[in-house]
Amino acid sequence: MAGIMCRLCEHKYNLELMKLYIVGGGGCLIRHFGEYDPNRVTINDDIRSAFLFERKDEDMLSTPY
């Protein structure tokens, strides 16, 4: 988890200001082996939710204003 957080900080992620959402199978590893603040990190390990999230983004891009 520390490596993931370091990588996020390199991209200007601020743990104190933003909540982290982890979607997909990797969340299971973090839930069982990582150290994190459950008030700041939301883990959704439903693999289908990652697909639905991606699909929603595609729909938003194809919708004209």
pLDDT value of position 12: 87
pLDDT value of position 52: 62
Query: Which residue type is seen at 49?
Result: S
pLDDT value of position 54: 61
pLDDT in tens, 4-46: 778 888 888 887 888 888 877 778 888 888 888 889 888 887 7
Residue 43 φ/ψ, nearest 5 degrees: -115, 125
Q: For residue 61, what are its two tokens?
A: 């891009």
pLDDT value of position 32: 85
Predicted model pTM: 0.57
